[in-house]
Structure 1
Amino acid sequence: MQYAIMFYETEKNFETRDHREDDSEYWGAWRAYIDEIVASGVVRGGAGLHAPQAATTVRLKDGQRHVQDGPFAAAKEQLGGFFLIEVPDLDAALSWAAKAPCAPTGVEVRPTLPSQM
């Protein structure tokens, strides 16, 4: 079954991402996690996302497009990236989510709908 595992990070995490020093604890933990999950063969796609300040939100109201700078919702934790993974069941997806460096902040796991893309 395919799941999206969505990684939520704090403002401090996003600030740390801007400094890609090879020896940083943040990037070291993410490199190790990415290497492990990719080597397992379960990854079907994914991407890291720029900071919430780079987001633009679009809403359609009365047939008119309304554009707002910033993320969909203001919150302490914001979506920092995601993987699409193919695993046998929810428990396997939860195991991968729990290994993510941002698990203390939060990782959302959600089954995906079938797609013909």
Structure 2
Amino acid sequence: MNTKILFAASLIAVFTIGMYAENAVAFAQYMGNVGSEGQTGSYTLEEALEIQARRIAAAEANPSSGSGTPYLDASGVVGAAVIAGAVFGGIAGAFFLRGRSGKYAAMGRG
């Protein structure tokens, strides 16, 4: 393929993505109180401090509840790592076993 055409297509793609990416900016969540009719109010510092104080009190009252992150669960951190390791390890093992024999294997190794 002609490198000039490839370069021009790449530049067009970069500028096009840049032009449309400006419209897809993600803004932070509005921290307001929503009324019964959809109106939003103000989220004051006093309200935030009261909510945080309640969260701390609830955590101190139930020390066995932990952080809420299920580390040893299958949907947690360690469980997901073990499952992913088993899947990708199995695939890698299959490739290693198949690579030891066949048309392109080195002579004298299998």
Give the structure with higher Rg (CA): 2
Select the structure that is richer in strand. Answer: 1
Give TM class, smaller chain: under 0.3
Query: Structure 2 length as normaliser, TM-score?
Result: 0.22
